[in-house]
């Protein structure tokens, strides 16, 4: 089996000749969006600013081409840093050192913009995603006006690029629900006030934005009232397949666990006329998890009226032997998962 998978991966390879249009037409796809979390620009434990190439890294254009050659059209660009206790010290701090309303760090902004331009020039979507967990310098953000200004300033940089997607913040957690609502609404207000009217926005929820707890956590009742004058909200949820849904184990509960954990959120989206995307998901490179992934992606396709797709966690040049790494061309998920699930999203 391993030899067969290696051969299959080699056949996948960097098939740039097959890259007719990187994003592919929506009508040609089972899922409108399918892609990868590019992770590395958020690295740098206990170092708010960090040194490029030592604490953090940006992403290789060749791997972006490789993903596009396999039909991926969504790139969630993570930028943050977390310490060993899991406290978020993020790219918000790298992009705007010292304050939410402060000036940009020109080099960091330049690198982010270079990545975005590369992806979108090839027809892909680039998701701007501060991986901050609703924190700034480790403290829960309560300055909604400052957060609105931060997003206004960021969105203004990409207001004319309709292939940019704005993710308000990664995985709010252990925060008052009213504050999570207020921060999401502030982000929406800031983005639209900057003249970024054509881009999709993906608000995230409290409780790590889990799909399986979207309703029970109170996210559904609270975030339903978010208002976007452009009517382009795609609610972002995350879902892993291990026992506690944390994504810390390559062991999956069952071959139908992803479908089952999406049921309540699907009903919420359908009942309320909303749309969603799974912004993070992954499972181990093993038979049971592959079955669960294929089944779950089929479920998303069956409900394509409300689900836009899914984004794998994760890839990046520093992930090495990480159990879910889909970094071309040696990542365990690139070799053992992508060839198996590719037909489920294209």
Q: Residues with catalytic annotation?
A: 171, 280
With CA atoms as reference, report the closest residue to 292 among 255, 333, 337, 324: 255
Structure tokens at 325: 């790494």
In this structure, are residues 234 and 251 in contact, taking their beta carbons and an 8 Å threshold? Answer: no
- Residues 41 and 23: their CA atoms lie apart, in Å, by 23
β-bridge partners, 167? 202
How many other CB atoms are there within 10 angstroms of residue 210's CB atom?
A: 23
> Strand, helix or coil at 309?
strand
Helices (H), the chain: 2-12, 61-69, 91-95, 106-121, 144-157, 177-193, 219-223, 257-272, 287-302, 332-336, 338-345
């Amino acid at each position: 089996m391993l030899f067969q998978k290696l051969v299959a991966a080699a056949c996948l390879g960097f098939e740039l000749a097959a890259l007719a249009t990187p994003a592919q037409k929506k009508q040609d796809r089972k899922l409108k969006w399918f892609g990868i979390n590019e992770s590395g620009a958020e690295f740098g434990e206990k170092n708010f600013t960090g040194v490029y190439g030592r604490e953090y890294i940006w992403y290789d254009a060749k791997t972006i081409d490789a993903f596009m050659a396999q039909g991926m059209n969504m790139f969630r660009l993570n930028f943050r840093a977390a310490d060993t206790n899991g406290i978020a010290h993020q790219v918000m701090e790298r992009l705007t050192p010292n304050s939410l309303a402060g000036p940009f760090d020109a080099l960091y902004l330049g690198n982010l913009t270079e990545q975005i331009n590369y992806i979108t020039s090839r027809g892909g979507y680039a998701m701007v995603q501060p991986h901050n967990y609703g924190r700034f310098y480790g403290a829960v953000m309560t300055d909604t006006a400052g957060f609105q200004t931060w997003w206004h300033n960021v969105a203004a940089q990409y207001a004319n690029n309709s292939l940019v997607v704005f993710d308000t913040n990664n995985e709010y957690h252990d925060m008052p629900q009213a504050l999570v609502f207020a921060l999401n609404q502030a982000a929406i207000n800031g983005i639209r006030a900057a003249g970024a009217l054509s881009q999709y926005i993906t608000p995230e929820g409290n409780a790590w934005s889990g799909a399986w707890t979207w309703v029970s956590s109170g996210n559904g009742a609270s975030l339903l009232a978010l208002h976007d004058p452009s009517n382009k909200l795609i609610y972002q949820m995350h879902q892993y397949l291990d026992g506690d849904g944390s994504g810390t184990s390559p062991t999956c509960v069952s071959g139908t666990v992803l479908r089952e954990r999406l049921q309540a959120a699907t009903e919420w989206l359908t009942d309320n006329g909303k749309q969603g995307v799974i912004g993070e998901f992954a499972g181990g490179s093993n038979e049971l998890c592959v079955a669960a992934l294929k089944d779950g992606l089929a479920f998303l396709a069956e409900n394509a009226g409300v689900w836009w797709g899914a984004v794998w966690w994760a890839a990046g040049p520093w992930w090495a032997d990480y159990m879910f790494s889909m970094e071309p061309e040696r990542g365990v998920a690139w070799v053992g998962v992508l060839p198996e699930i590719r037909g489920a999203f294209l």
